[in-house]
């Protein structure tokens, strides 16, 4: 597969939406992580709906992805008030 076709394939399989929020590095990183989370959850739910994945396995996989997203949010300090210097 040539480079152009691979790029088109990746854009189709892993679409990215434009970010309209406050432009800060940590927000951009979290937005990318959030989009990846939603993409993976979509695949998992499709597999479960079609009977190719057990509901319990789907739940466990989504729960693990959720924990990963929460760790990302915490590590990037998203939603936390900046601490004042004394």
pLDDT in tens, 33-69: 999 999 999 999 999 999 999 999 999 999 999 999 9
Q: Residues with Cβ < 8 Å from 62, sequence gap 6 or more?
A: 41, 44
Summarize the confidence of residues 4-10 as an average pLDDT.
Answer: 75
Cα–Cα–Cα angle for 47, 66, 27, rounded to 5 degrees: 120
pTM over 0.85: no
């Amino acid at each position: 597969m040539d480079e152009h076709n691979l790029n088109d394939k990746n854009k189709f399989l892993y679409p990215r939406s434009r970010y309209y929020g406050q432009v800060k590095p940590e927000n951009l990183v979290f937005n990318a992580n959030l989009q990846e989370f939603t993409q993976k959850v979509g695949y998992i739910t499709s597999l479960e709906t079609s009977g190719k994945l057990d509901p319990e396995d789907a739940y466990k996989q989504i729960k693990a992805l959720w924990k990963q997203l929460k760790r990302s949010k915490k590590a990037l300090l998203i939603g936390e008030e900046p601490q004042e210097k004394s």
